[in-house]
A = this chain, B = another copy of it.
Amino acid sequence: MARVNPNYSKLKAGYLFPEIGRRVRAYQVAHPEQKVIRMGIGDVVLPIPEAVRIAMHQAVDEVGTLSGFRGYGPDLGYDFLREAIAKEYVSRGAQVHADEIFVSDGSKCDTGNIQELFAFDATIALTDPVYPVYVDTNVMAGRTGELGDNGQYAGLEYLPMNAANGFVPPLPKTSPEVIYLCSPNNPTGTVMTRAELTEWVNYAQKNKSIILFDSAYEAYIQDPSLPRSIYEIPGARKVAIEFRSFSKTAGFTGIRCAYTVIPLELEGVGPDGAPVSMHALWNRRHGTKFNGVSYPVQRGAEAVFSPEGKEQVRAMVGYYLENARLMRNGLIEMGFEVFGGTNAPYIWLKTPQGVDSWAFFDKLLQSVQVVGTPGAGFGPSGEGYFRLSAFALRETVHEALSRMSTQFKKK
């Protein structure tokens, strides 16, 4: 009989978001009359920008004609898009070239697939709490042991982020080969300062580690002193891969486009001890396992960088950030201890004393029909915290706050 990958059985019962979905569906079946407000999965709600829509229409028309038809695109993305992305980087003071950009259909895919480039026993460090995809894809690849009673997979180094350390992950103790970082952070909504990120880049240089830097939420950074890209930090090109997405920036969660930057000088080491270009490896992976992003989608993504697109995206990001501000204030008024939400679309709140994060999830769902994400779903250090997403309509935010305020009052 065909033997399956034995590592899948190490995974917890379900990926976090399907589990939330199951609980919400069960509640809705039991209470069909209740209107549930979903602030759990970080999915956007505003329509795609007009500039994107116009560009996609044009592209669809183009491929509907003989002269304008385009078949297989370049595996790594069309030059028009890679150049627009590189130009944006350069305009913000980060040195990134068009041919270092790999266009893909999502950052979930990229951050999930990138581990394939490393040795099967490469040592990994990641923050805790963390986006579950980083952990689960390494479990599937066999880089971990079983899940322990402490909520940690054996063989990974967890870097705790909590109120006590101001959500700044401590430097690793084990000299890992690969380190996952995310800023603005999902789930905590906190952002690394330039000084903190510089410390990480210096650490990676000294320890010859590679940082996998997820900046899917960079568009939410308003404070000009905070770095939006790791490549704003000197030396980062030799130690970091960066992931970005149009999902939260431009409402692309259903349209699907993202990109990964691998600087040409970034190197790992091969079995013979010789340096290996990470760019060449990812190029080979893309060439073998990927066939590029839909052409109309790439045209839509390009339009995000047009003057109209930029303006429309800025308005959209501003809308969600105003939600975050209202949520922060409202939750603080209810007496919650609240983190994130100023340069990020996520609010990370401390659950009330003695209520764990899944219990708080169930309580919110059942008492006020508001769905958030239990912190424990993001790792053991997420226990005692709860994520609320600012990706909602204004009226939904007001309604959620109003419902919650009936249950929670400042003492």
Contact = CB atoms under 8 A, between A and B. Distances in A.
A341 interface: no
A122 interface: yes
Interface string A112-134: 11001111101000000000110
A106 interface: yes
A78 to B, nearest CB: 10
Given A118-B5, A122-B2, A295 B64 contact: no
Contact of A112 (B178, B288, B297): B288
Interface string A13-26: 01100100000000
A9 B63 contact: no
Nearest to A278: B4
Max chain B C-beta neighbours (<10 A), residue from A18, A112, A256, A285: A256
A63 B43 contact: no
Contact of A140 (B109, B116, B119, B290): B116
Nearest to A15: B287
A134 to B, nearest CB: 10
Contacts of A290: 106, 108-109, 112
A150 interface: no
A65 interface: yes
Given A106-B291, A122-B2, A295-B254, A60 B56 contact: yes
B72 A253 contact: yes
Integer count of this chain's copies in the complex: 2
A318 B1 CA distance: 41
A64 B108 CA distance: 24
Nearest to A211: B2
A71 B53 contact: no
Contacts of A288: 15, 112, 132-133, 136-137, 140
Given A255-B294, A256-B294, A289-B137, A116 B5 contact: yes
B118 A256 contact: no
Contacts of A285: 140
A11 interface: yes
Contacts of A61: 53
Contacts of A136: 288
Contact of A4 (B14, B18, B119): B119
A177 interface: yes
A6 interface: yes
Nearest to A393: B66
A62 to B, nearest CB: 9
Contacts of A46: 66, 69
A270 interface: yes
Contact of A296 (B41, B132, B255): B255
A237 to B, nearest CB: 15
Contact of A63 (B8, B66, B210, B255): B255
Interface of A: 1-6, 8-9, 11, 14-15, 18, 41, 43-48, 50, 53, 56-57, 60-61, 63-66, 68-73, 105-106, 108-109, 112-113, 116-120, 122, 132-133, 136-137, 140, 142, 177-178, 208-210, 251, 253-256, 267-271, 275-276, 278, 281, 284-285, 287-297, 393
In the A-B complex, the 4 residue pairs with the closest CB atoms: A3-B119, A112-B289, A6-B271, A43-B71
